[in-house]
Amino acid sequence: MQDRNLFKISLIMSTIGTFLILLLSEYSEVELTNIGDLNKNQLEMKVKVSGTVISARETPGLYILSIRDSTATIPIVIFKEDPLSIGRNAQIEVTGKLTEYKNELEIIAEIIRI
């Protein structure tokens, strides 16, 4: 009888713990990083950068922005869902996944704030 109760308590606590970890990871704020501080050790991690749009181009299926801060420049990839209304010289903040394409770092945008 006591083993059964211990099993139930363990199952409940592990379920609650898993739920809390998922909740915290979903709502935790990503810290703003200088573009120049991004490196390959952060690949596939969520990052947040801000800067000025220095170029914007459209390709079939996506938009590619280049943004610059005081430390460096990085491409931002945005998959087309709606028309993009961000132009040159706009100040934006981007949260997304840091990836590598043709040996260069880029960010796959998840959230863009103007």
Single-letter amino acid, residue 39? N
Match domain 35-113 to its CATH number in 3.40.50.300, 3.10.20.30, 2.60.40.1220, 2.40.50.140. 2.40.50.140
Mean pLDDT (the chain, rounded): 92
pLDDT above 80 for 114: yes
Query: Is a pLDDT exceeding 70 seen at residue 1?
Result: no
Considering only CA atoms, which of 27, 44, 20 is closest in space to residue 96?
44
Domains of the chain by residue range: 1-30, 35-113
Q: Is the pTM of this model over 0.85?
A: no
Report how far residue 84's alpha carbon sits from residue 93's, in angstroms, rounded to the nearest whole number.
Answer: 15
Mean pLDDT of the region 99-112: 95
CA-to-CA distance for 65 and 52, rounded, in angstroms? 10
Q: Average the pLDDT over 41-45 and give the result.
A: 94
Higher per-residue pLDDT: 49 or 80: 49
Q: Which residues pair with 48 in a beta bridge?
A: 32, 95
In angstroms, the CA 107 to CA 87 distance is 18
First-last CA distance in the chain = 60
